[in-house]
Structure 1
Amino acid sequence: MPQLCAAWGCTNRSTIENRSRGITFHRFPKNKELRRQWEVALRREGFSASESSVLCNEHFKPEDFDRTGQIVRIRDGAKPSIFSFPPHLQRVCFIVTGL
């Protein structure tokens, strides 16, 4: 069964074509705390990663990867941070100034 990226709006699937374009897929961490941080980063209400849930490399910074071996791996502690959220999922930041 082809893997589909779990990120909101991402249509990347694990196919030979995508693999040839350098797209890699990475399972959610087994560490419960880090796994929860990945789930929260997705901003998908009610989402809980399964054993087969994956994210593609397009949701990580280049420095989040270890490319020294034959297999591209996510560095320990790295969290996904690159997403294209629709307006209703964007975070609003307020700046509070002293009056």
Structure 2
Amino acid sequence: IPSHCTAYNCTLRRKIETSKLGMTFHRFPRDYGLRRKWEAALRREGFAANDGWVLCSDHFKLDEFDRDGQVCRLRPGVIPSVFNFPAHLGRVRARKTMTKQP
């Protein structure tokens, strides 16, 4: 099992210190469609996660977790959305097409 977060420029590793701080690590979903959405959210060209890749809890909003006792799980269907991307990894926006007026 990888011991580090897969997100761009995230240096968090699975250690005793991160565990004490309440950090959790979450495997990519088994559901193919949801896994593809997670991969797209990472903005890593050509990236395809395997069953062992993980993301740390920093990349999810607080309300996306179910915390029951000592177990911390992501809510069903959640997609990671908290990232600190540099400008060159910005989202690609659709271009407006201009039509000529007669």
TM-score (norm 1): 0.89
CA distance in 1, matches of 2:46, 2:92: 21
In structure 1, stretches of 5+ residues that fail to align are none
In structure 2, stretches of 5+ residues that fail to align are 97-102
| 1:12 aligned residue | 12
Cα RMSD after superposing both structures:
1.8
Q: Which has the larger radius of gyration?
A: 2
| 1:34 aligned residue | 34
The Cα offsets for residues 21-79 of structure 1, whole Å up to 9 and x where unpaired, read as 11100000000000000000000011111111000000000111000232100000011
CA distance in 2, matches of 1:70, 1:88: 39
CA distance in 1, matches of 2:68, 2:18: 21
Question: What stretches of structure 1 move > 4 A for 4+ residues in a row?
Answer: none
CA distance in 2, matches of 1:19, 1:52: 19
Say whether the 8 Å CA contact 1:2–1:15 is kept in structure 2. Answer: no
Q: Percent identity?
A: 54
